Each structure stands twice: as structure tokens, then as C-alpha cells.
Amino acid sequence: MANKTTIQIDQETLKILEKLKKERKAKSYSELIRQLINESKKIEKNEKGSLSKIPSFVREEYDRVD
């Protein structure tokens, strides 16, 4: 069995976690938090990969107003 610890959160965050736990049918807060972390990692990975092939913007000389 994994070691357990306690974290401090405010009441508003607890209410949000309770609601998410019910909606996602998570068995524990630990399971819910892991789900959220995994989803966050997937989104982060997708965002990085989606625009990686687009060249960076380079302003042409005649576009400049001096």
C-alpha cells in the first residue's frame, strides 16, 4: 500500500473536488487527482505538437513603417 499524506485546501476547492469526484465516479480523491493530471499532460502534449511544424513569423522589410 502506498504512503499517504494530507494536503490543505480551501473549502471552495474541496467542493469542486467533491463534485468532480461524483461526476467522474472516482473511487478516491487520489484517483480523481491522477485523472486530472493525466488529462492535463495529454492536453499539454497535444498543444505542443499541433503547431510545431509552423515556421516562426518573420516580418519582411517592406512591411515596416519607420
pLDDT tens-digit series, residues 10-45: 999 999 999 999 999 999 999 999 999 998 888 766
Rg (CA), the chain: 21
Q: Higher-confidence residue: 11 or 63?
A: 11
Residue 50 has pLDDT above 70, yes or no: no
pLDDT at 51: 61
Q: How many whole angstroms separate alpha carbon 66 and alpha carbon 64?
A: 6
Question: Global pTM?
Answer: 0.61
The answer to whether the beta carbons of residues 24 and 35 sit under 8 Å apart is yes
Q: Under the phi-then-psi rule, with left for phi > 0, alpha for psi from -120 to 50, and beta for the rest, what region is 25?
A: left
Q: How many whole angstroms separate alpha carbon 51 and alpha carbon 60?
A: 22
Q: Higher-confidence residue: 11 or 50?
A: 11
